[in-house]
Amino acid sequence: MQAATGYPEPVLQLRDLLNTYLEPEKVALVLKAYDIGEVAHRGQIRKTGEPYILHPVAVAQILANMRMDHPSIAAAILHDTIEDTPLSWEDIKKQFGDEIADLVDGVTKLDKMKFRTRTEADAESFRKLMLAMSRDLRVIFIKLADRLHNMRTLGGMLQDSRRRIARETLDIYAPIADRLGMNSMQHELEDMGFANLYPWRYKTIAEHLQSTTGDRLEIVDNILEVLRKKMAEAGVPCRISGRQTSPYSIYKKMLARDLSFSEVTDFYAFRIITQNESQCYLALGAVHSLYQPKPGRFKDYIALPKANGYQSLHTILSSPYGLPIQIQIRTEEMDIMASKGAAAHWQSKNGEFTSDLPTGSAQVRAREWLMRLVDVQRHTGDSLEFLDHAKSDLFPDEIFVFTPKGKIIDLRQNATALDFAYAIHTDVGNHTIRTLVDNVEVPLSTRLANGQTVKIITDQAVQPRPEWLEFAATARARTAIRHYLKSLRQEDTVALGLRLLEKALNARGTSVEQIQKRKWKKFLKKNHFKRQEDLFHDLALGAILANVVAAKLAPETGRLSGKPGYGEAITIAGSEGNALSFGACCMPVPGDKIMAYVSTDKGLVVHRMRCRNVREFRKHPDRCVDVNWAPITEGMFPVAVRIEARNTPGVLANISTSIGEAGSNIETVAQPEANPETATLLFNLSVQDRDHMARLMRKLKRNSNVRRVHRVG
């Protein structure tokens, strides 16, 4: 419908809403954005059959309902112009200035023609969006509003497209809204994503939810009346309402806990909104005196806010109606924050953003999260890897743990002691040698729980190992480990590759230095190596064999391995870093008789001579390398130990104490078997050499709880 003013009805509704909180000149700027956007999009039609311009207007309306500032509203109207119309960033800058132009550019997708696949293009667009968010958080508010309106109008798309967009919404955009504390938008995105991805499941749960709600209206009204009377008696001014659980929230609980629909929905939910924080705790005391609280079901998110800034008291009570009562208690301000999260800070009388942000607010926490993501992206190799890291950080389930000085560190659920170390600082994580949880030494892979106190002990001689990636749970830890390994690996592998080639050339009666420059240049060019270092790197990784290269560089010489001084074994000192690895099948330690095998995917791998795989390696003599331990080795080496112990309370702590007293560290521990009499424990321990290992074994055998102990592999 076109109004007499020339603007369609949706634009007039937007104008009227903006007039309630923006000054006239700012509203005029938004209307100017509409005029320019309407001309740019003229002739474009959405799959719903509507003129395209009504989509950005609807996006702007969503933001106006959140009372966002005028640059955000104008940018929302123009958000598709750079991508889908002849308008450029320079055109928008000329008309509206840098601020609005940069917001539009931040939301704009990248040209898909630059990428091999849609997946790669989407990942790079997401990376660009995250970086734009880090510069201006309003970018993501516009993008979320854009996604919300797209989901509301998804019916015009083909089924495959609907499912793909719904999956992306559930995997990325709803979790982002959650991470920013924007609960209202999160729940709507989740329910629409769920409805389009699994329409039958959504319909079934929604219908059941509607029927059960109808059956319980009288009971809900009775509880509301009792709660209001109790709050009045306690002198707590508040408003109380029943709370509807969303279909997707129910579905997630059914999946996570393997529950039936009735088991998930069998409770009454209420929300008490007070005027200040102290009244929240008065209200809590009042409801606890009204109905008996269920043990272990109280959570204080006011004292310990969630990672997204969410604050509220949660408690579950027993009711006289046979079903639990779930109650959330918070202030009006907390309720606004729970609904709008980081976007709430753009709400003011004139719609302008205030920089006076309280510590711990959703805005500050969102900024901290984004800065962590920016740090992650600096060290990721490509957009797909970055997207994987970001997804792992988006899901909001968190735990709170403490440093020895009482500082609270929030981590994602399933985070390990190693993740805690990296949360303190990257250097702390890189050099972690021991961790104590509640004063008990535990492996780095130990998963942490709420309320634990964690102490990290570092050693500059320690450096990240590839196996750390197997249990690091946070993006920050995994990215830091990978970055460290890559930087060290390049330097270490070049040195090892040089040693391997030197050994192969020695066996032919020559050396690297004796190869003429002309031969080097010809060989490198023919084999597509830019530098000698690139060749040495590939040699260390097993991509090319040293004796093959030696034969091409020195074809005129014969094999002289029997001559003294040539073909001597490579010495292993433990200081080679990530250039070589030690076989997980046999875990050699200094003092063991060893050999090495050049693997095509792992490079040089050191094995014990007694390893069960050596016979197979010997079938490929060109890949076998003679190695010996250096007279003095560095660092600690993993060894697998199997212990059969008495199955009594505290046995693990008792054995761990013996291990610590022997000067060894626990890397991992598992219990594959147990019966009422005995428990089998598999430890990966770190030792300096065979002598240290022997002392450790004697110490364990003297432990009264240990029945048998032997080395594995």
Describe the crossing of helices 98-107 and 118-135 by its angle, rounded to 10 degrees. Answer: 150
**Backbone region of residue 448 per phi and psi (left: phi > 0; alpha: psi in -120 to 50; beta: other values):** beta
Amino acid at 87: L
* Rg, C-alpha atoms of the chain: 32
Neighbour count for residue 167 (Cβ, 10 Å): 13
Q: Which helix (H) or strand (E) holds 599?
A: strand 594-599
Distance CA 141, CA 59 (A): 10
Residue 134 buriedness (CB in 10 A; 0-12 / 13-18 / 19+): buried
Structure tokens at 654: 């008792």
Handedness of CA 649, 650, 656, 660 (dihedral sign): negative
Task: Give how far the C-alpha of residue 279 lies from the chain's centroid of Cα atoms, to the nearest Å.
Answer: 36
Per the CB < 8 A criterion, the answer to whether 41 and 51 are in contact is yes
Active site residue 84: yes
Catalytic residue among 16, 25, 35, 83: 83
**Among 412, 345, 371, 338, which Cα is nearest to 141's?**
345
Structure tokens at 703: 């432990």
Catalytic residue among 23, 84, 398, 689: 84
Structure tokens at 313: 């008291």
Q: What SS3 state is found at 415?
A: coil
**Among 453, 440, 451, 444, which Cα is nearest to 477's?**
444
**Among 480, 349, 499, which Cα is nearest to 425's?**
480
Active site residue 266: no
CA distances from 180 to 185, 255, 307, 348, 528 (A): 10, 25, 9, 19, 49
CA distances from 393 to 402, 445, 461, 483 (A): 20, 19, 30, 18
Distance CA 123, CA 27 (A): 35
| Contacts with 656 (C-beta within 8 Å, 6 or more apart), sequence order | 440, 441, 442, 666
Handedness of CA 73, 74, 76, 77 (dihedral sign): positive
| Contacts with 104 (C-beta within 8 Å, 6 or more apart), sequence order | 75, 78, 79, 81, 82, 89, 92
Tell me the longest C-alpha to C-alpha distance in the chain: 102
Active site residues: 83-84
